[in-house]
Amino acid sequence: MNRIDRVMPDYTTKDFVLATDLDGTFLGGSEADRRRLYDWIEESRDTVGLIFVTGRDPEFIGELCDSGVPWPDYVVGDVGTTIAHVDRGDIRPITALEAEIAEVWGNAGETVRAALGDHPGLTLQPTAFRYRVSYDLDPAAFDHSARDKVVALGHDALISDNRFFDVLPRGVSKGPSLKRLLAHLGVAEDRVLAAGDTLNDLSMLISGLPAVAVGGAEQALLAEVDPLPHVHKARAIGAAGILEAIAAFDLHPLPEGI
């Protein structure tokens, strides 16, 4: 799909907004299931909004969408530390919404990298993140005292899928950043579906929005959301689980047979 010029939509007019994680969720499931979801979204742009809420960075998202995945209208990226809109195929931070994140983080990246530079089981990810520091985690070698180091520095630590370790500004994650964006856009929260599959999605699944933990989700996430009636625990994997939840919550009509 080529990069496109598109007037940014008025989200107050949308009947439904999908706020979805990528890996294992929007990108999960069979190719046929993904195509059903993606085609339906593209055919329903007048009434359906799309927000990516992901640990991925803007560069990855741009390459992904250039390869054929539907472009979102907005992005909550970098595990909630980026809040951006899509402008002519470019992902542009919304400065007013990121100001508090930037203030809380300050210039912490160098300090965090120094504190965790030789920590057992952590390998620094090469991306130059703006307001977070992220590592690949080796569970066999990992020393859990890394959490204590991060807290002592005044930040939050997040382990997800037992293979990623993120250092985030205190109080910043996917859920709070998504809700900040929705309030900015004037979106009624009962018309939003938050979709995810790992612990770094927990903050948005427990935020009170209608939500789905898609089939194949991390067991630790399922344990956290199991008692919550507003979180649908889908049987179907990835993209099919999203469609299952849209129908279960009656958030938007779906074509017969989808």
Q: What is the mean pLDDT of the chain?
A: 95
51-93 confidence digits (pLDDT tens): 999 999 999 999 999 999 999 999 999 999 999 999 878 999 9
Please name the fold of domain 11-95+172-249.
Rossmann fold (3.40.50)
Instruction: Round to whole Å and give the CA distance between 112 and 234.
Output: 37
What pLDDT sits at residue 8? 64
Range(s) of the chain covered by CATH 3.90.1070.10? 101-169
Q: How confident is the model at residue 1 (pLDDT cuts 50, 70, 90)?
A: very low
CA distances from 43 to 126, 153, 215 (A): 37, 47, 25
Assess whether pLDDT exceeds 80 at residue 220: yes
What pLDDT sits at residue 5? 45
Spatial contact of 177 and 101, defined as CB atoms under 8 Å apart: yes
Pairing of strands 164-169, 133-137: antiparallel
- 120's tokens: 């057992």
Spatial contact of 211 and 229, defined as CB atoms under 8 Å apart: no
Type of residue found at 110: E
What pLDDT sits at residue 4? 45
On the 0-12 / 13-18 / 19+ scale of CB atoms within 10 A, 121 is middle
CA distances from 13 to 47, 83, 93, 243, 246 (A): 7, 21, 23, 21, 18
Q: How confident is the model at residue 7 (pLDDT cuts 50, 70, 90)?
A: low
157-213 confidence digits (pLDDT tens): 999 999 999 999 999 999 999 999 999 999 999 999 999 999 999 999 999 999 999
Assess whether pLDDT exceeds 70 at residue 135: yes
What pLDDT sits at residue 194? 98
Spatial contact of 165 and 135, defined as CB atoms under 8 Å apart: yes
Give me the percent of the chain exceeding a pLDDT of 70. Answer: 97
pTM of the model: 0.94
CATH architecture of residue range(s) 101-169: Alpha-Beta Complex (3.90)
What pLDDT sits at residue 243? 98
For 6-132, list the strands marked E by DSSP.
16-20, 48-53, 74-77, 82-87, 90-93, 122-124
On the 0-12 / 13-18 / 19+ scale of CB atoms within 10 A, 224 is middle
Assess whether pLDDT exceeds 80 at residue 32: yes
Range(s) of the chain covered by CATH 3.40.50.1000? 11-95+172-249
Q: How confident is the model at residue 250 (pLDDT cuts 50, 70, 90)?
A: very high
State the DSSP code for 234: E
Q: H or E stretch including 232?
A: strand 231-237
CA distances from 93 to 103, 130, 253 (A): 15, 11, 32
What pLDDT sits at residue 87? 84
What pLDDT sits at residue 107? 95
